[in-house]
Amino acid sequence: MTFHVLVPDSVDQSAIDLLTAAEDITVEAPGKMARADLLNKIATTNAIIIRSGVKADAELLNAATELKFIARAGVGVDNVDLAVATERGIVVMNTPDGNTVATAEHTFAILLGLMRHVHTGHQSLAEGRWDRKNFEGNELRGKTLGIVGFGRIGKAVAKRALAFEMNVVTYDPYVMVEMAHEAGVEKVDLAGLFEYSDILTLHTVITEATLNMIDAEAIARMKDGVRIVNAARGALIDEAALADALDSGKVAGAALDVYSVEPPENNRLIGHPRVLHTPHLAASTEEAQTAVAVEAAEIIIRAARYGIYTNVVNPDVLE
């Protein structure tokens, strides 16, 4: 049997070459496909490799009568309806390793930019001003960084924070205290994280428990002048509540790479003088995009040819 793989988004060519070279596998990779074209093609497809731009929702999955596997070139799978995929027997796998370093580095890029007013200082000078007195910043050394989520990316962020001589605490209900201690980090509960952190950074997925977890009530429990960094998922933050806290000065600043709606629309955070924002760039390095694409191709090949499933995010489908 020939196994047909569709890649309806732009991925690194090395992944396409890997699939093309595999025996008994055909690949179709037209680049970014329009939704209507994807719906037409999906019925004869056995596997797809997607990025965040493709919505594998109920409409798409119900049209995918021959679909066996979805490989997400990246970590987050909030663009996949996992319940429908599981019901239809479709195995969903992600690639959590390839963009870890890129995301950790971007977290520090926007954090340092925020602390030292890099974005506003640049804009001021570009507009012909020399406003040194307006851009006095703060050092990271000695500050307490609170990390929500201590998976691969959270650990990578902690490693870099320790190199900056920061104190690091983390909240993650699935991580043992001993594991945190081995990384030089103190595990605390969520209330403790809000109480101790000078800077809060988010590195967790969207669940019922984490959706809008940074809301007005949570912010009220934080230190006055806290700074918030989000390079994970926009829906972790109640954006209206954050905008209010920035207006009042309760939150001194925010560095944001992700938004509840992308591209953001009528979002009070965009252009706010206390916000440094980037357009979902955390995983956008040449190295990371190559790594996640190749990993996605490899897990499709292993699943199709050998029945070996890697990084399955809907494990109930295998029961």
Which residues are identified as catalytic? 233, 262, 280
Question: How far, in whole angstroms, is CA 291 from its chain's centroid?
Answer: 15
Secondary structure (3-state) at 105: helix
DSSP summary character for residue 33: P
Q: Is the backbone of residue 184 left (phi > 0), alpha (psi -120 to 50) or beta?
A: left
Q: Which residues pair with 255 in a beta bridge?
A: 229, 276
Side-chain-facing half-sphere of 176: CA atoms under 13 Å: 3
Structure tokens at 238: 């109640």
DSSP 151-193: SHHHHHHHHHHHHTT-EEEEE-TTS-HHHHHHTT-EE--HHHH
Burial per residue of 229-265, b for 16 or more beta-carbon CB atoms within 10 angstroms, e otherwise: bbbbbbbbbbbebbbebbeeebbbbbbbbbbbeeebe
Question: How far, in whole angstroms, is CA 264 from its chain's centroid?
Answer: 16
d(CA 123, CA 130): 10
Burial of residue 212 (CB within 10 Å: 0-12, 13-18, 19+) is middle
Closest CA to 292 of 51, 24, 34: 51
